[in-house]
Amino acid sequence: MNADEVSLIEEAKKGSRAAFNKLFSNEQKSVINLMLQLTGDIASAEDLAQEAMIIAYKKIMGFHLESSFRTWLSKIAINLFRAHYREKRKHETLCLERVQIPSTEDRPERVIIKRELQWCILHNLQHHLPKKYRLALVLRDLHNFSYQEISQIGGWNLAQTKIYIHRARKKFKERFINGKCKAFADDYTCVCEGILDL
């Protein structure tokens, strides 16, 4: 945690909304992206990030600088995700239009291939990995959190975190490379459609 962040946190604890807004704006994209990778839905991701901001604002006095603001805010957002999706059992098809890709100068066929690949990656993350593995893999490999930070966010000890990440990578690779998700129907529905969340 750098001195500027510590200073902003201290100002926010004294009631400065501007300082808190600056803290949040520095991490907003990261939190929305994290929630998008867990939910597969941009509207839900934005809602969860907004809820996380409100909770963080209310609880900023309880933040004791034991981790970075990013780690603390991500933990709040993940707890909200867990609460909102705990009862969710119905498998939802991930709509191709929801997957955002950066604008590119590539040939059109390459854009389509990238879009399909991103869809398949998100689909595998959301529907073929147990939630604890998905969370560990997204935090480590897509958001570059340290093992210690992931342990804090997930509520696991360091050994469990390392095991979850190892197993998640192995399971994801097996499913992605050897699974049948490479075969799509005309409407881009995966052939494994109907499988429930693990």
Predicted pLDDT at 109:
64
The reply to whether 185 falls in a domain is no
> Which of 41, 65, 85 is the endpoint of a domain?
85
Predicted pLDDT at 91:
39
Judge if 76 and 109 occupy the same domain: no
pLDDT band at 77 (very low <50, low <70, confident <90, very high): very high
Judge if 107 and 73 occupy the same domain: no
Q: Is the pLDDT of residue 98 over 50?
A: no
Predicted pLDDT at 187:
42
67: tokens are: 């981790």
* Cα–Cα distance for residue pair 3/9, rounded to 1 Å: 10
Comparing C-alpha atoms, which of 99, 173, 87, 68 is closest to residue 129? 173
Judge if 113 and 140 occupy the same domain: yes
Domain count of the fold of the chain:
2
The reply to whether 42 falls in a domain is yes
Structural domain harbouring 145: 96-178
- Residues 70 and 30: beta-carbon distance below 8 Å: yes
Judge if 64 and 30 occupy the same domain: yes
Q: What is the tens place of the pLDDT at every residue in 106-154? A: 566 666 666 667 777 777 787 788 888 988 988 998 888 999 999 998 8
Contacts of 23 by beta carbon, 8 Å cutoff, 6+ apart:
5, 8, 9, 12, 69
The reply to whether 26 falls in a domain is yes
* Cα–Cα distance for residue pair 165/132, rounded to 1 Å: 9
Judge if 63 and 128 occupy the same domain: no
Predicted pLDDT at 58:
92
* Crossing angle for the helix pair 3-13 and 17-39, to the nearest 10 degrees: 110
The reply to whether 184 falls in a domain is no
Length of the chain: 198
Q: Is the pLDDT of residue 94 over 50?
A: no
**CATH at 27:** 1.10.1740.10
What angle (nearest 5°) sits at the alpha carbon of residue 75, between those of residues 71 and 80? 150
Judge if 76 and 108 occupy the same domain: no
Predicted pLDDT at 28:
93
- Residues 193 and 125: beta-carbon distance below 8 Å: no
**CATH at 145:** 1.10.10.10
Predicted pLDDT at 2:
85
The reply to whether 188 falls in a domain is no
> Which of 85, 113, 147 is the endpoint of a domain?
85
The reply to whether 190 falls in a domain is no
Q: What is the mean pLDDT of residues 45-54?
A: 92
Report the predicted TM-score, pTM, of the whole model to 2 decimal places.
0.59
27: tokens are: 């991490």
**Percent with pLDDT over 70 in the chain:** 72
Q: Is the pLDDT of residue 90 over 70?
A: no
Judge if 67 and 113 occupy the same domain: no
Q: What is the mean pLDDT of residues 81-103?
A: 54
